[in-house]
Amino acid sequence: MKSKLEYRLGFCVEILANFIMLLAYYLGIWVMFQNFDNIDGWTYQETLLLFNMNWLCYSISGFFLWAPMLNIGNYIQSGEFDSFLIRPMNTLIYLVFRQFQYTFIARLIMAIIFFTYSMQIISISWSPLNICYFVVSLMSGIAIHAGVLIIIGAISFWTIQNEAIGNFLINSDSGLRTFADYPITIYGRVVQAILIFVVPYAFVNYFPTEFFLEKESFYRFGYLHILTPVAAVVVITIALVLWKVGMRHYNSTGT
Amino acid sequence: MFNEGEIVLKLYVGFIKNSVQRVITYRTNVWAKTLGKFLYLYVQVSVWIALYESNNISQNMRGLQQIILYVVINNLLSCLVEFNAIDLLNQKIKTGDIALDLMKPFNYMLYIFCYGLGDIIINVCFQAVPMLLFSMIFWGFSIAEYSLILIFICSAMLSIVISFLFAYFIGILAFWFLVTWPINMATRAIYKIMSGVWIPIWLFPGFLKKISLCLPFQSIYYAPAFILSQPVLDKVETIRLIEGQFVWIVIMGGIVNVAWHCGRKKLVIQGG
């Protein structure tokens, strides 16, 4: 009985913590736009949508993959990983379903709530084509983040500990992912190229929203937004290949 | 013969040395964190440059150079002022190790402080120095007067104390809360806004400025960063900020003392 109450209390605390975190971020952006009208042509609501789309895709993919991928190093060191290999199920799928990170649920719920809010305060003309593209780009965004997480996990097969590279790529304060919180036009060409061709975070939120909001800068990049699902497929493919290679490497080096 | 003071000093210096060695062994982490800090600095400066270039700036707004300077100083400060003691304290309290540690003949707070100094020393050498050079080359780093540097150093010392006391307080909350990461997460978010490390507090609307005064965070980042980045020495504001720092040292000191006392009592009652 007591543990159920503790569980629910703990869950409420997590919801509250995630809420405070997102609220604090909103507050900062709000203060920013109290003093400035726009950032490179993007208004307050548009910038919020950019951030929320990034956060939503990250939260959804993280719900399935964050805990298993970031912990592979620990599983390998403790020897647990070998017990996973014996299972008749695909190891990756097993890892996902074995550890459903319930603590990410709070983050996911808050992400959805805030994303819905940011969608409400923006004006997009919805045509059947737009709705279609919206669904595709959302799924692509989730796929790109999922691919990045799988790659981070696969790296463990060589380096055991992947915390450093994980933080570099996805950390909410200092990682590459936070570049996508703002329109990528504010960065230099080299950084833009990295965000488009190396770690395609630009396809998660920037190109889709640029298209929906019919921004002028749209024409700067041509019709790159069409490549969003392509980018997703590329990232997932690389991720799964790296995973396979990593597993083979792990098996061959002996346990 | 050694006097007691020398022995005590050697003890704490030993703690610091151990801590530095501990951090150095995780070399990849150090490089990754350094890179992360560079990335964060780059994003921030890019954002402010874009904001200034996209909008008409009224005369009574502070210039782009001052904001860039402010942002760079804050990033340098973050190398000096961040204590990861929270995780260590949480761990020690949860595992019960702390009961054993408290039986040892040294001041526990000083021990945690020395532990944190390891990270800080490495951060200053490997993050702050390169970031300073980088900023000087790419964005310039011009301080208005040399006297500001002296005042800044004093302010930064005060910041380290306040930051440590706050981190210590959050750390010992583990006496009462089994799961502390949500608290840490929420606190970090509030800290990020209210310290001015992201958005300078001079841009805050009135009510938000008042709220930030009720929290110690602006005395950690905003105070020294503002002092060093101001184009002209604003005596009134500078004195106000330094006074605020002293006030917060006293307040946080009191809070930590009370919380520590209560925590230790709880430990004894639990039969730790």
User: How far is residue B200's CA from residue B221's CA, in Å, rounded to a whole number?
Assistant: 10
- Tokens 């801590």 correspond to B19
The partner residue sitting opposite B203, judged by closest CB among A35, A40, A191, is A35
- End-to-end CA gap in chain B: 38
The partner residue sitting opposite A28, judged by closest CB among B36, B183, B198, is B198
Full domain range(s) for residue A86:
2-252
| Count of domains observed in chain A | 1
User: How far is residue A229's CA from residue A140's CA, in Å, rounded to a whole number?
Assistant: 5
ipTM attached to this prediction: 0.89
* Closest to A103 measured CA to CA, from A147, A165, A70, A59: A59
Q: Do A179 and B43 touch (CB under 8 A)?
A: yes
Q: Do A36 and B182 touch (CB under 8 A)?
A: no
Q: Do A182 and B36 touch (CB under 8 A)?
A: no
Pick the residue from chain A with its C-alpha nearest to B205. A31
| Per-residue model confidence as pLDDT tens for chain B (272 residues) | 557 778 778 888 888 888 888 887 777 778 888 888 899 999 999 999 999 998 887 776 788 889 999 999 999 999 999 887 778 888 888 788 888 888 887 788 888 898 888 889 988 998 999 999 999 998 888 888 888 999 999 999 999 999 999 999 998 888 888 778 888 889 999 999 999 999 999 999 999 999 999 999 999 999 999 999 998 888 999 999 999 999 999 999 999 999 999 988 887 776 54
User: How far is residue A207's CA from residue A46's CA, in Å, rounded to a whole number?
Assistant: 13
Q: Do A16 and B186 touch (CB under 8 A)?
A: yes
Q: List the structure tokens of A250.
A: 């792990």
pTM for the full predicted model? 0.89
Q: Give me the residue spans of the domains in chain B.
A: 4-269
Pick the residue from chain A with its C-alpha nearest to B35. A168
Q: Cβ of A41 under 8 Å from any chain B Cβ?
A: yes
CA distance A3 to chain B (A): 13
Q: Do B49 and A167 touch (CB under 8 A)?
A: no
The partner residue sitting opposite A186, judged by closest CB among B47, B185, B193, is B47
